[in-house]
């Protein structure tokens, strides 16, 4: 009897969704909805594939990614929680991993449901002694992932404790592109950003974004929809969002790609991160019992 059998007995939808052994045997929900194919791992509630009917994966995955409990998957949609980047004021350590612990832990598969919008997979991460030892709050973090004509991801955070909490959160989405150097990024013109690749200086975004060097920008106080125009694949990827005040745009370029063991030296032209988040001053604060929802909606269409 496979360890997946009880999960499939409870959740599988014949010919639509089932729990499979993914990379290195990590359990994942494989969805074959009419409008799209999708894959989400229980490890980190990590969305690894979104293929609108007949199209290639919209999400990028490194060939060098690790697929191990306790390690982040490189690519797809990592969930950053309860902090973004290095933990403020705390030296990096196994107890304070970059981008928090949510992407490193096994989440509970709560449900798989089919509707007119597509197939929705719900996963949850609940605070534990282990998380409280690192971050002294009680919470339930749920990830609702709908594979349909769009990929709709909603991160739902509930403060289940007796004291207020403040957390950063990000859907750190890696998009698959033919050549990032030829992509145009629209939607953020006039928005101020922190340039982490240039001394964390705050700058205004002049016009559209093109990627010509290491790019690591935290756009501030923006609810804007962003588009990626890929002239080689002749497609436009649209990233809309709700309840997110920041957008991060990241490409490591040559040196940073070389410095990451789980990122192929020659892979950087094939990806760009456009991340839906609430970080820094826009971190989410919840009183006991309060809930916050942040949503990213990804869609793909031919270039106009």
Active site residues: 172, 275
Closer to ligand TA6 by Cβ: residue 267 or 275: 275
- Footprint of ligand TA6 on 173-212 (CB under 6 A): 196
Closest separation in Å from C-beta 195 to ligand TA6 = 11
Closest separation in Å from C-beta 248 to ligand TA6 = 5
Closer to ligand TA6 by Cβ: residue 99 or 143: 99
- Helix intervals (H) in the chain: 5-11, 129-134, 253-259
Residue with tokens 């820094």: 280
Closer to ligand TA6 by Cβ: residue 85 or 149: 85
Closer to ligand TA6 by Cβ: residue 192 or 256: 256
Beta carbons within 10 angstroms of residue 118's beta carbon:
21
85 binds ligand TA6 (CB under 6 A): yes
275 binds ligand TA6 (CB under 6 A): yes
Joined together, the tokens standing for residue 293 give: 């929802």
CA-to-CA dists, residue 300 to 13, 50, 57, angstroms: 26, 10, 11
Residue with tokens 């490890």: 43
Q: Which residues neighbour 165 within 8 Å (Cβ) at sequence distance 6 or greater?
A: 82, 137, 139, 159, 285, 286
Closest separation in Å from C-beta 268 to ligand TA6 = 12
44 binds ligand TA6 (CB under 6 A): no
Note whether 178 and 230 are within 8 A (CB).
yes
Q: DSSP 3-state assignment of 267?
A: coil
248 binds ligand TA6 (CB under 6 A): yes
Closest separation in Å from C-beta 215 to ligand TA6 = 9
Total interface residues for ligand TA6 by CB under 6 A: 11
Q: Which of 169, 216, 229, 267 binds ligand TA6 (CB under 6 A)?
A: 216
82 binds ligand TA6 (CB under 6 A): no
Closest separation in Å from C-beta 241 to ligand TA6 = 15
- Footprint of ligand TA6 on 135-174 (CB under 6 A): 172
Q: DSSP 3-state assignment of 11?
A: helix
Q: Which of 46, 51, 87, 99 binds ligand TA6 (CB under 6 A)?
A: 99
CA-to-CA dists, residue 84 to 78, 171, 209, 217, 273, angstroms: 11, 10, 23, 13, 14
Note whether 79 and 168 are within 8 A (CB).
no
Closer to ligand TA6 by Cβ: residue 19 or 77: 77
Closer to ligand TA6 by Cβ: residue 248 or 296: 248
Q: Give the span between the Cα atoms of 216 and 194, in whole angstroms.
A: 8
47 binds ligand TA6 (CB under 6 A): no
Q: Is residue 261 classed exposed, middle or buried when 0-12, 13-18 and 19+ CB atoms within 10 A define those classes?
A: exposed
List residues near ligand TA6 by CB under 6 A.
72, 85, 98-99, 172, 196, 216, 248, 250, 273, 275
């Amino acid at each position: 009897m496979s360890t997946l059998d009880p999960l499939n007995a409870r959740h599988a939808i014949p010919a639509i969704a089932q729990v499979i052994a993914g990379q290195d045997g990590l359990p994942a929900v494989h969805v074959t909805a009419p409008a799209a194919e999708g894959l989400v791992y229980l490890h980190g509630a990590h969305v690894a594939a979104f293929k609108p009917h007949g199209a290639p994966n919209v999400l990028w995955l490194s060939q060098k990614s690790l697929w191990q409990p306790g390690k982040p998957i490189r690519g797809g949609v990592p969930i950053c929680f309860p902090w973004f980047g290095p933990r403020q004021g705390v030296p990096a350590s196994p107890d304070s991993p970059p981008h928090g612990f949510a992407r490193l832990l096994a989440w509970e598969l709560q449900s798989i449901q089919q509707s007119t919008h597509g197939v929705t997979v719900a996963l949850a991460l609940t605070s534990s002694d282990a998380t409280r030892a690192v971050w002294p709050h009680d919470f339930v973090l749920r990830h609702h992932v709908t594979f349909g004509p769009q990929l709709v991801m909603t991160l739902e955070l509930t403060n289940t404790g007796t004291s207020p909490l403040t957390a950063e959160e990000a859907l750190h989405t890696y998009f698959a592109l033919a050549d990032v150097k030829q992509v145009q990024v629209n939607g953020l013109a006039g928005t101020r950003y922190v340039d982490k690749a240039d001394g964390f200086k705050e700058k205004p975004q002049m016009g559209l974004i093109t990627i010509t060097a290491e790019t690591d920008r935290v756009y501030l106080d923006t609810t804007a929809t962003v588009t990626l125009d890929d002239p080689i694949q002749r497609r436009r990827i649209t990233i809309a969002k709700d309840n997110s005040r920041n957008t991060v745009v990241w490409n490591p370029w040559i040196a940073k790609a070389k410095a990451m063991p789980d990122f192929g030296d020659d892979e950087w032209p094939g990806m760009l991160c456009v991340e839906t988040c609430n970080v820094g001053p826009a971190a989410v604060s919840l009183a006991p019992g309060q809930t916050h929802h942040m949503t990213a909606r990804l869609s793909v269409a031919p270039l106009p």
